[in-house]
Amino acid sequence: MKVTGRAFIYGDDIDTDVIIPGRYLVLQDPAELAKHAMEGIDPDYPEKARGGAIIVAGRNFGCGSSREEAPVALKHANTRCVIAESFARIFYRNAINVALPILEASARNLVGEGDLLEVDIVNGIIEDRTKGVVVRAKPLPPLALEIINAGGLTSYIRRRLGLG
């Protein structure tokens, strides 16, 4: 499984209030949530991500509250992958549950804003096609990959139970 997109670089401790501000948690439609993705730090993100985005960040991405809406907003804003040095554990789990690929790697200082990235999710290989740089990430566990490939935890469980 490979994804491509333009790199958008962010710092450390990007919390869920920045990813999707609390005032939008009343929205149920993922497309509506997507219109406000990253609004707390980059109000133009949904427009910039339109062609496919890969977020590259520092430590503790997704810290703060446990809101599942944060990875949902990113996924539906055409974020193809999030790469960070580390993730808040609840965000990590929520991202996998909604089939948003995430990888742990120290790539923030190696790729540039707007660079074209190709990410091999299975093998944890990040290629900056603009600079010709390759970064290795910690590969996801097999079960996480199965859940992402199934389209999220609900779809994975339905398949396992033979319900669709």
83 has pLDDT over 90: yes
Task: Among 3.20.19.10, 3.30.300.20, 1.20.950.20, 2.20.25.10, name the CATH number for the domain at 2-160.
Answer: 3.20.19.10
**How many residues does this entry show for the chain?**
164
8 A C-beta contact, residue 144 and residue 102: no
10 has pLDDT over 90: yes
The band of 15, judged by pLDDT with boundaries at 50, 70 and 90, is very high
The band of 11, judged by pLDDT with boundaries at 50, 70 and 90, is very high
The tally of CA atoms less than 13 A away on the side-chain side of residue 158 is: 8
Which sign does the torsion angle of CA 149, 93, 55, 70 carry? positive
Query: What is the rounded average pLDDT of the residues 129-146?
Result: 95
State if pTM tops 0.75: yes
Query: What is the rounded average pLDDT of the residues 51-63?
Result: 97
Amino acid type, 141:
P
What's the pLDDT score for residue 117?
Answer: 98
The band of 162, judged by pLDDT with boundaries at 50, 70 and 90, is confident
8 A C-beta contact, residue 100 and residue 73: no
